[in-house]
Structure 1
């Protein structure tokens, strides 16, 4: 009789990854599971992606499609989202929740859309994808196509697909939280009724209690979810991919008396760079040396307008716009230091953006605004890569800028960064699956 161990080595261990964000989606939401899918095969697991065929992405980066292995099976299934209907009514492509929420003034249609999103599409507008997806996937799961399934949210509707598949088939299920759910700061921005908030909590508890494993990205989110669920939550942070760094990439040797700060990513209603920019203006407005700040990515209209109204800032701040992930490294190469704008909200302590680890891999010093006691601050402090200052620490921000201005010589690499390599993190995930799904 062939042993179970031998059968496991012969059979392919297949895991179905259910994710809304997938190339050509851009931004941080796609990176985590794109990289896991890339390296899981080396750890003994064959990933299969299940993702919408026609999603409403806020950011697109077609260059990421080049990272998808030709051996990777990607199943795309049609999705209907209410924003598609709203776009047709309004006659323009601006109904994505992020864009609507950032508008200064809302018309009747926008106000209605926000109220409907808050109270009728629970947990989010992708909820209409749940039932058809479960119906489509149930047969595949029942036929033994997969040893495990993984859902990643937000959008947290993906977890409802996992919950229903678990209930129907008893497949092993891992739920991955990239952000909180009922405690998520985004929900606080919505005109949500109390009964709807309670519905979020009920769904969240079902996911937390019925999933076989739960993972999240930061120690703070880990502790918060453990308090909510009274169970063990596993931590697997985001990271950086060595292969993303262009061959021969290096930053130049800095000369004292100039400063070029670069910020890569999104600036929106919960990421405010103005305390850093105002401190920069006050510290260097009479300085003879060259000082400039470059935003690489989408910047909210509110911040753009505030910068434009200030003569010194408008002269020293550049907007490069959204560029592909690979093009970002050209901006890193020409920077003297990197700026990191973390959130200043109730979830700020657990805010560890994916780009933090890529920042560290460049060897450039990092100046961040955020929670000085938060998870990002601890990572930067332990690695010696930089420092997190409170948004209100105006003098400390000026001192930090002055030190960067006067710094000279080669940048020093961060210590202990190997633990955040995407390949190592993928092996952590595979070990969890091996330990729990095959036992």
Structure 2
């Protein structure tokens, strides 16, 4: 069994698609001759936690945890703990002077990201244990892109083949545009990015669009390994179709934030069902923006027909999938939107529920949905199209079961492709 070191910031009990991606790759890698060894922070700083995911770490997966220091800890001390989730700072309509300074420092002093202080001690620690572990390959996954710098430096010191996985772009990442970067900071990002592009033995990303865009920057090939779904995540007895019932149940799972806009859908929903009292219910499962909470509070009809569950662990989400007639997918409205394929898309498809999407109809996610016959994606501004679609649902149709929506997105099949890439690095 060949040993592969996987360097990731996000690992259970962290929640989110970034965790699921490498949790599942590590689960299936032993089937293809690779023993995964996870290297992750002992005390990471992330807002959302799902302790149920810890039980899904495979018995064949070794996990090494190493302490990290992050400036968020200092920032909270200055703010006396009043902000637990630092991402909320970027959503504030009128940030304080201190918050504006914090954003500027995040963008221009902490390059590539606040986890940069973990790079040097991690490389030193891993070097000390290297000979005793006989790693035959290194994988890094970002963001945070500091993980790639650890992989780069280890490759330089050990000569071990290294694969860099980009779940989001780097220098062209839309998130950087919110951080008030100077030209000096942007150039530094590009320089670090190019060193990773140049020195990694294999480059991977999650979507065809991201691959094309980064290939132009790197002048070399990017391999596409999308996210996917593990059928074993479906609870025993999960129904392939919801009972028609008396209320049309529409469910959205995940985050609603400044780049995921639900308001066109709410406008269309109210236009179609506004004269009906109990014919529709839209449930948001997960963390939602303050803006959405305020809109619901100001509208009696929305208060009656919308339900916010707050954050739930991964297992609890399936009870909402099971009762849903349709699943709502709200894609981002940003410069990276065409390549955005959220991990939950594959989970949606695996449930057999038809998807109502909002986003770029020519984007990578929309193409996957169309090819699988799994639903329809409307442009964010296509209110008329949404109204027409929802009008057809007033008769409370049964959920359509989507058969064989893509075995190519099974996590095992995707891991087989990853194992082939790893073997290709060894054979090069």
TM-score by length of 1: 0.94
Partner of 2:211: 222
Partner of 2:135: 146
Aligned 8 A contact 2:278 2:305 in 1: no
Q: CA deviation at 1:256?
A: 8.4
Residue among 347, 360, 369 paired with 1:358: 347
Distance across 2 between alignment mates of 1:80 and 1:410? 48
Partner of 2:390: 401
Aligned 8 A contact 1:142 1:169 in 2: no
Aligned 8 A contact 1:218 1:352 in 2: yes
Superposed counterparts of 1:121-200, under 5 Å: 121-142=110-131, 145-200=134-189
Aligned 8 A contact 2:352 2:402 in 1: yes
Partner of 2:368: 379
Partner of 2:27: 38
Q: CA deviation at 1:257?
A: 7.0
Aligned 8 A contact 1:25 1:59 in 2: yes
Quick one: structure 1 residues 253 and 69, their matched pair in 2 at CA, closer, same or farther if it must change by over 3 Å? closer
| Runs of 4+, deviation exceeding 6 Å | none
Superposed counterparts of 1:195-214, under 5 Å: 195-214=184-203
Gaps of 5+ in 2: none
Identify the range of structure 1 (122-131 vs 286-295) with the bigger mean alpha-carbon deviation: 286-295
Partner of 2:416: 427
Q: Secondary structure of the equivalent of 2:424?
A: helix
Q: CA deviation at 1:247?
A: 1.0
Gaps of 5+ in 1: 1-11
Partner of 1:59: 48
Distance across 2 between alignment mates of 1:154 and 1:33? 13
- Does 2:279 align with 1:305? no
Aligned 8 A contact 1:260 1:336 in 2: yes
- Does 2:232 align with 1:236? no
Distance across 2 between alignment mates of 1:256 and 1:333? 13
CA RMSD of aligned residues (A): 1.5
Partner of 1:348: 337
Superposed counterparts of 1:281-320, under 5 Å: 281-287=270-276, 290-320=279-309
Q: CA deviation at 1:240?
A: 0.6
Identify the range of structure 1 (262-271 vs 406-415) with the bigger mean alpha-carbon deviation: 406-415
Residue among 4, 16, 37 paired with 2:5: 16
Identify the range of structure 1 (94-103 vs 45-54) with the bigger mean alpha-carbon deviation: 94-103
Quick one: structure 1 residues 329 and 253, their matched pair in 2 at CA, closer, same or farther if it must change by over 3 Å? closer
- Does 2:325 align with 1:336? yes
Identify the range of structure 1 (305-314 vs 118-127) with the bigger mean alpha-carbon deviation: 305-314
Q: CA deviation at 1:94?
A: 2.1
Partner of 1:280: 269
Q: Secondary structure of the equivalent of 2:25?
A: helix
Q: CA deviation at 1:167?
A: 1.2
Aligned 8 A contact 2:241 2:399 in 1: yes
Distance across 2 between alignment mates of 1:227 and 1:414? 37
Q: Secondary structure of the equivalent of 2:283?
A: strand
Aligned 8 A contact 1:258 1:405 in 2: no
Distance across 1 between alignment mates of 2:165 and 2:382? 34
Distance across 2 between alignment mates of 1:182 and 1:229? 11
Q: CA deviation at 1:95?
A: 5.4
Q: Secondary structure of the equivalent of 2:93?
A: coil
Quick one: structure 1 residues 237 and 53, their matched pair in 2 at CA, closer, same or farther if it must change by over 3 Å? same
Distance across 2 between alignment mates of 1:307 and 1:77? 43
Q: Deviations over 1:51-101 (max 9, x none)?
A: 000000121000000001233211100000001011111111625442211
Identify the range of structure 1 (242-251 vs 379-388) with the bigger mean alpha-carbon deviation: 242-251
TM-score by length of 2: 0.97
